[in-house]
Amino acid sequence: MGHQATERRAETAPRTMKGGTAAIAQSVATKFAIIGINAATGIITARALLPVGRGELAAMILWPVFLANALTLGIPSALTFQLKKHPKRSAELLGAAFVLAILTSVIAIVLGGVFMHSWIPQYSPKAILYAQVFLLSAPLTSLINTGRAAFQTSNDFWAVNGLLAIPPAITLVVLVGLLVLRALTPYTAAFAYAPAGVAPAAWMMWRLWGLYRPTLRKFRESARHLFSYGVRSYGIDLCGTMALYVDQAVVVRFLAPDAMGTYVVALSLSRMLNAFHTSVVLVLFPKAVSQPIETIREMTSRAMRMSTLLTVSAGTMIIVLGPQVLTLLYGSEYRDATAVLRILVLEVVLSGATLVLSQAFMAVGRPGVITALQLTGLLLSVPLMILLVPRFGIAGAGLALLLSTTIRFTCLLLSFPVFLKMRVPQFLPRRRDVDYMANVALRYVSDISGRNLRAAEEVD
């Protein structure tokens, strides 16, 4: 069975992307495409549903994704590790991983169903009922997370990026159709989001069946191997999920639907700035591994300065033109989001810089430091939100995130001399950083022009 799976992966290798540079380029392009798609869906729902409807939509579609990702128990990471370590047992490992993914998603459904009424009592009974119904889509999230881990192991980045991009694209198409038919409500919009993973999940299962032929033979042994690694890596997965969703999960407890809708709009607009830092991390981490420690320091600090400079440039435009941008994209009803939007832009700048600098610790084999810092941020942000949101509303949510991120960024800088025995990286932009970026851009344009010229000459 293991031999056959290996042969099938070899046969499909030509369809996967070749070379790390191509994979990175495709991943970056996919990331920006998803940002554009999410921006379009955000604009459609915000304008059509207005703040109250947008808040109800957020309250209904948050839980399947949040709870499924929060309760992975580290299975996707464990699957990647075990497939690399035991390639001849790929069929058994993948079969067990899918079963465990379904079981964890069932736990998510039960927890969400039990606590939904008490967590969002300010929402209408209909909105709460739909939120519970949409929990049934949690297994789709869990299965897709597991499938992506299997595709990453086989270097099938085309499939990985497809699983990331296709669900939001389907959502966008359905939302446009509902808008044209004048049938877009918070509840029909939720149907555009929650089941969007059905077709991608079905395609994923078909493709993985051809690659691995998953089986439940030796299930207990495979599950034990997955749990042994998954439980140890679960902390990192959980921190990552909580960092993405905990603010919405806490804020929805205290805000009325209209305030929640306004906050979600400001949050989605500010998070578009994440593209600069996350794209840099895709390239930085693999390049930094195995480099001398001082080289790692210089690489990460320069990458942080350049990506932060780009983020600050774009963020300044959003801060200055906040009311106009909100009105132009989402409608005049969201002008009240100006204050929290400006706070969230500052938070994105700091959190992105923290993400890039943290790659130094990952590259030298000290991921535990980053996990501890992430946990610190979460332990600070939740009580700060509980304290500030009832008093200051959506601005309090932004302040809570900004304060916890500022403390995390400061602790990260102090961790360089403490844990890595190196100087604190230079984090303020320098003139030579601008010169370096200009030279890279000029070389890129020159390379593109040269390729186009050679192609034209070949045609002639």
N-term to C-term CA, the chain: 53
Task: Please say whether the beta carbons of 373 and 233 come within 8 A.
Answer: no
Q: Could you give the count of Cα atoms lying within 13 Å of 363 in the half-sphere of its Cβ?
A: 28
Report d(CA 160, CA 156) in Å as an integer: 7
pLDDT at residue 51, rounded to an integer:
96
Which tokens go with 83? 């497939």
| Residue 426 identity (one-letter amino acid) | Q
The model carries a pTM of 0.81
Q: Which of 287, 235, 245, 303 is nearest to 74 (CA)?
A: 235
CA distance 120 to 116: 6
pLDDT along the chain (460 residues), means of 10: 44 42 64 88 96 96 93 86 83 92 94 93 94 94 90 79 90 96 96 90 90 85 85 74 85 94 95 83 66 86 88 93 92 93 95 89 79 83 93 94 93 92 81 65 57 57
Which residue type is seen at 344? L
Q: How far is CA 267 from CA 36, 246, 260, 377, in A?
A: 15, 13, 10, 18
H, E, C per residue of 2-18: HHHHHHHHHHHHHHCCC
| H-run or E-run covering 282 | helix 274-288
Are 89 and 222 contacting, i.e. CB atoms less than 8 angstroms apart? yes
